[in-house]
Amino acid sequence: MAGASGGALAAEVTAAGAFGFLAAGYLDPASLRKELALARGILVLAASDRLPVGVGYLAWKLEKSTDAEAEEMLAAALDNHVQAIWLAFGVHIDKWIRYIRTYDEKHRRRDPTLIFVQIPSVEDAVVAVKNWKVDVLVAQGNESGGHGYRAAPPLLTLVSSILQVLPEDAPPLLAAGGMTNGRHVASLLILGADGVVLGTRFLATTASLYTEAQKRALIAAKSGSTMRTMAFDRVRGTVEWPAGVDGRALYNSTVKDVEEGVDIHIAEEKFKKGVQDGDPDRMLVWAGTGVDLISGISTAKDVVNELHDVTLERLEMASKLYTGN
């Protein structure tokens, strides 16, 4: 999660028994290496050990860079022998996949980097599996916090439709979007997903890079507080996303102003001041539709444990429905 998931959050999630990703997002290579070193330190690993976290790249950022700059960004993760790389939001994702596979071959990696690709449609799922041969497919539903494709179907529909067309030997399919608790997770597993991805839930943890004000806003949010918008990208000047992408965030006066056509420079000034002041009515808080179920700030470990326990409990309940016991 760009701007929210650094080395500490990724390492804590992995240490808790899930698998954590840190975001390359808008970082430069040196800052990315620092976050990776932080994760390695928290997990108490030697420099030569494989790093059991992943790094998520915004493919459009790589595509806006020179090849040398993009390769330097990817090398930061690959030299650190991360277990996985996540790619999304690009038009040449296959190019970065080829680069990673070639790097692994050149370095004779016995355990190649797992490539996760996040997609918003059945058509993209087919390309990712058949043409790109990804290791893990992530279906991102419309409910998702942060950036996503505005035309993505709701997760329930998207996962079912993808399962319908995937071949038998397809890679694992993970579901992403709008999940906050074990009830959500269990329902997606029963639907047929092999696993799940939660973002927003981990924003409200001690290790997330979100500010205290942003975390308070997440806790205060109600059902229906989020909406998809480009307003925050416009006031931040991050408008180079591929066509069809916007982001789901907490609705506030920044969104209202931009959508009502207030002069963008005025909206931008108010946004900047709002960020400085921690003003929930102006600042940016990316959030998925499950945000209303977040009631406090916990450690990543507690979140993972709770998700695990409640998921098991719900799956057990579901199996009783089937057996009648």
Ligand X SMILES: Cc1cc2nc3c(=O)[nH]c(=O)nc-3n(C[C@H](O)[C@H](O)[C@H](O)COP(=O)(O)O)c2cc1C
* Tally of CB atoms within 10 A around 182: 18
List 145, 182, 274, 280, residue binding ligand X (CB under 6 A): 145
Looking at residues 161 to 220 of the shown chain, list those that interact with ligand X (rule: CB under 6 A).
Answer: 176-179, 197-200, 203
Under rule CB under 6 A, which residues in 74-133 are in contact with ligand X?
88, 118
Q: Confirm or reject binding of residue 290 to ligand X (CB under 6 A).
A: yes
Q: Which helix (H) or strand (E) holds 138?
A: strand 136-140
Q: 3-state DSSP helix/strand/coil percent for the chain, to nearest 5?
A: 50, 15, 35
Interacting stretch for ligand X, rule CB under 6 A, among 65-73, 90-98, 104-112, 136-144? 136-144
Q: Which contiguous run of DSSP H or E holds residue 51? A: strand 51-58
Intra-chain end-to-end CA distance of the chain, in Å: 42
Contact stretch for ligand X (CB under 6 A) within 125-133, 141-149, 254-262, 304-312: 141-149
Choice from 10, 23, 173, 303 touching ligand X (CB under 6 A): 23
Among 6, 7, 20, 25, binds ligand X (CB under 6 A): 25
Which range touches ligand X (CB under 6 A), out of 238-246, 259-267, 283-291, 307-315?
283-291
CA dihedral 58, 34, 28, 145 (to 10 degrees): 30
Q: Name the minimum Å distance from CB 291 to ligand X.
A: 8
Number of residues that bind ligand X (CB under 6 A): 27
- Min dist. Cβ of residue 108 to ligand X (A): 29
Q: Does 52 bind ligand X (CB under 6 A)?
A: no
Residue 146 or 182: the one with the smaller Cβ distance to ligand X is: 146
Of 287, 276, 297, give the one whose Cα is nearest residue 252. Answer: 287
Structure-block tokens of residue 24: 């390359």
Distance (Å) of CA 226 to CA 129, 145, 196: 32, 9, 21
**Least Å from the CB of residue 41 to ligand X:** 23
Q: Is 7 in the site for ligand X (CB under 6 A)?
A: no
User: Of the candidates 14, 140, 205, 225, which one interacts with ligand X according to CB under 6 A?
Assistant: 140
Main-chain dihedrals φ then ψ at residue 149, nearest 5 degrees: -90, 125
Whether residue 129 contacts residue 167, with contact meaning beta carbons closer than 8 Å, is answered with: yes
Assign 66 to helix, strand or coil.
Answer: coil
Helix (H) or strand (E) holding 307: helix 300-323
In the complex, what is the shortest distance from the CB of residue 86 to ligand X, in angstroms, rounded to a whole number?
6
User: Which spans of this chain sit near ligand X (rule: CB under 6 A)?
Assistant: 1-2, 4, 23, 25, 56, 58, 88, 118, 140, 143-147, 176-179, 197-200, 203, 286, 288, 290
